[in-house]
Structure 1
Amino acid sequence: MLDTGALIDLLSQPQKIVITTHHKPDGDALGSSLGLYNYLIQLGHHARVIAPSDYPDFLTWMPGNEEVLVFPETKEEALALIENASLIFCLDFNSLDRINDMAGPVRESAAKKIMIDHHLDPADFDDYRHWNINACATAQLVYDFIANVLGHKVYINKDVATSLYTGIMTDSASFRLPNTTSDVHRVVADLIDAGAVNWRIHELVYNSASENRIRLLGHCLSNCLEVLHEFNTAVIVLRKQDLAAFDVKTGDTEGIVNYALSITSIRLAAFIVERDGQVKMSLRSKGEFPANEICKLYFNGGGHRNAAGGQSTDGIDQVVEQFKSVLPKYKKLLIQ
């Protein structure tokens, strides 16, 4: 394992660095990656971000996005960068299976692996870890890593700040989740002072939907929403024919589960979607309800207490019934 001093020594000289994050990157995944990228290039490092898959169009405006490699589309170049890297930063994931086809090449690379993450139960693949499950976003930890671990707050310029603000904003549900502490707001204030234009970032992320995405949302709320009042739970089920009917693109289903959670008295919301030969599940909860426990125990997933995800190879009807069958075990927590 690297200690902090050894890592600082490494970063004092130009390195060949790969930054990667989880499959289907969200705002925190890409924001933390580009925030770190925009910091590292100021120090003369040769750095590239490699995403394991595509990501939503509403994130492609971020500074440095033009330098991101999407692994399935640039496989040869990406593999060469991974093989020749001296450092690989692994952001917003805690196990190599979260980067899909990149897992083997990253594991086999001689590069030192640095994990920066806030998810539970990290796997033992890294050489250095900056990890805190109480952080509201990996972008918050990247800020802490740059400003406090490395002592380089002066390098948090407008591009770094814009990317990190995006990550914190999206993973905190626009600063609404319980882990949005006073410390988080102090970090955000620093980022605004460094040049992040908060209102503009909100516009670019939340007010840039396609017509199809808005019509899909209407369909989900009108035709796909079921409220289970006896369990204070709401479920939205989206089938593959729905995806085809609304020409769904990556990111179009982002945040739909939160509309179900916004219903008065609802403590648990599920968004269950059939895609790519699998059924994916996103859970959101209020208060102390452990959404991550349900995903971990029953749906091959995990996450945070109030925001978690899982998946299954069973049919979508079977997955929906399995989810409903779990609810009685949590009835006391759901109706309190």
Structure 2
Amino acid sequence: MQNLEAFSKLLGSPKNIVITTHHKPDADALGSSLGLGGILKKKGHTVSVITPTDYPAFLNWMKGNDEVIIYEANNQAVSKDLVEKADVIFCLDFNTLSRINELGELVRASSAIKVLIDHHLEPEPFYDFQYWNIAAAATCELVYELLVKMNYESLLDKDLAECLYAGIMTDTGGFRHNNTTANVHNITAKLISHGADNARVAKLVYDTNSLDRLRFMGYALSEKLTVLPEYRTAFFAITSEELKRFNSKTGDTEGLVNYALSLEGIVLAAVIIDRTEAVKMSFRSIGPFSVNDFARAHFEGGGHRNAAGGKSDESLEKTVEKFLSLLPAYQADLTNVKITNQVNA
């Protein structure tokens, strides 16, 4: 971080702080928010964590979860008041204010000092301070590094270390992706030394399923997977009626796209879901094929080179048609990718 001395001075006295993260937070988003929030509370700050939307129930174990303010759950007025009164607003695990929905304009209008901590490509320059590195596997990794730089690491306890560990674990695909660097292993070792129970966190995140979710995943794999070998592409298209049929909750479709990418020879994978208010899309790729560029160019999205999201205001049918119509233009890029045993993030 540039101006670390000024940043440290800013946090040297008690402040009203808001921490926010992207809609439908995952383990990295929520873990970095609650991990950082817990440390700042220990330093005497008044901290409120606000998420734009709900998040998966398998993250409810995180310390501080019971105090999270979910903006869309009839908390607009209290969120607005907290943002307006904030001295400092931390923006974690997103690179543009549109990623926090209606909260974005509240944050933009706020006179608070804004701090970005993130690892996504091409951040919007709305911040006063930033700790940003696209080479980082997770925002939790960056939060830990910043705690060390500010001499706050000794404040980590078991609960906060587990929040940060969960974000790093999930954003590296359980330490399987090629963003699992030596730095990642060094940091997770330090988090374990602070008390993080790695086996417990893995169990809570990966092995806590509802019967409805397991049945949905089986249905999607057997009935909804489309494979296009000529384009080295595989995708799922899920209707809103199918989500209702399996009583789908937030997080129930998480990880589905990785099954498509796991198919031998596949370079591009997608999940296209009718969420009623919009069609949401999740993309994954292998090698040099950039789904960040693909999503930005065609589906108002972005993210990382090999993991990105997008959306469409068209119907599910028309969105799938558009997706399919784009593939011929990318056929050469997709077919020229050399697949090794390496898994991309």
One-letter amino acid matched to 1:259: Y
One-letter amino acid matched to 2:95: N
**What pairs with 1:243-322 in structure 2 (closer than 5 Å)?**
243-322=243-322
CA distance in 1, matches of 2:277, 2:44: 43
Structure-2 residue corresponding to 1:62: 62
SS of equivalent residue, structure 1 residue 179: coil
One-letter amino acid matched to 1:130: Y
**Alpha carbons 1:2, 1:127 under 8 Å: kept:** no
Structure-1 residue corresponding to 2:121: 120
**Alpha carbons 2:213, 2:246 under 8 Å: kept:** yes
CA distance in 2, matches of 1:152, 1:62: 20
Q: CA deviation at 1:2?
A: 8.3
CA distance in 1, matches of 2:279, 2:109: 30
Residues 68-110 of structure 1, C-alpha deviations (whole Å, 9 max, x = no match): 1111222222222111111000001111111111112211211
TM-score by length of 1: 0.97
CA distance in 2, matches of 1:160, 1:333: 43
Q: CA deviation at 1:63?
A: 0.9
**Alpha carbons 2:274, 2:280 under 8 Å: kept:** yes
Structure-2 residue corresponding to 1:332: 332
Q: CA deviation at 1:168?
A: 0.7
SS of equivalent residue, structure 1 residue 110: coil
Residues 15-74 of structure 1, C-alpha deviations (whole Å, 9 max, x = no match): 110000011111111011011011111111111100111111011110111111111222
The percent of aligned pairs where both chains have the same amino acid is 50
Tell me the number of residue pairs that the alignment of Structure 1 and Structure 2 aligns: 335
- Supply the RMSD in Å over aligned alpha carbons: 1.3
CA distance in 1, matches of 2:196, 2:330: 42
**What pairs with 1:15-94 in structure 2 (closer than 5 Å)?**
15-73=15-73, 74-94=75-95
CA distance in 2, matches of 1:12, 1:185: 31
Ranges in structure 1 where 5+ consecutive residues have no aligned partner: none
**Alpha carbons 1:234, 1:269 under 8 Å: kept:** yes
SS of equivalent residue, structure 1 residue 235: strand
Structure-2 residue corresponding to 1:133: 134
Tell me whether 185-194 or 100-109 shows the greater mean CA deviation.
Answer: 100-109
Q: CA deviation at 1:273?
A: 0.4
CA distance in 2, matches of 1:266, 1:227: 9
One-letter amino acid matched to 2:259: Y
One-letter amino acid matched to 1:221: L
TM-score by length of 2: 0.94
Say whether residues 1:4 and 2:4 are aligned partners. yes
SS of equivalent residue, structure 2 residue 72: helix
SS of equivalent residue, structure 1 residue 129: strand
**Alpha carbons 2:39, 2:152 under 8 Å: kept:** no
Structure-2 residue corresponding to 1:144: 145
Say whether residues 1:223 and 2:223 are aligned partners. yes
CA distance in 1, matches of 2:102, 2:331: 39
SS of equivalent residue, structure 1 residue 72: coil
CA distance in 1, matches of 2:279, 2:71: 23
Q: CA deviation at 1:331?
A: 2.1
Structure-1 residue corresponding to 2:341: none
CA distance in 2, matches of 1:124, 1:268: 30
CA distance in 2, matches of 1:276, 1:190: 43
**What pairs with 1:74-223 in structure 2 (closer than 5 Å)?**
74-148=75-149, 150-223=150-223
CA distance in 1, matches of 2:169, 2:115: 24
Residues 100-143 of structure 1, C-alpha deviations (whole Å, 9 max, x = no match): 11112211211100000011111111110100011111111111
SS of equivalent residue, structure 2 residue 108: helix
CA distance in 1, matches of 2:184, 2:244: 40
Residues 200-251 of structure 1, C-alpha deviations (whole Å, 9 max, x = no match): 1010011111111111101111111011011111111101110111111111
Q: CA deviation at 1:7?
A: 1.4
SS of equivalent residue, structure 2 residue 279: strand
One-letter amino acid matched to 2:169: M
CA distance in 1, matches of 2:324, 2:91: 35
**Alpha carbons 1:257, 1:269 under 8 Å: kept:** yes
CA distance in 2, matches of 1:78, 1:322: 37
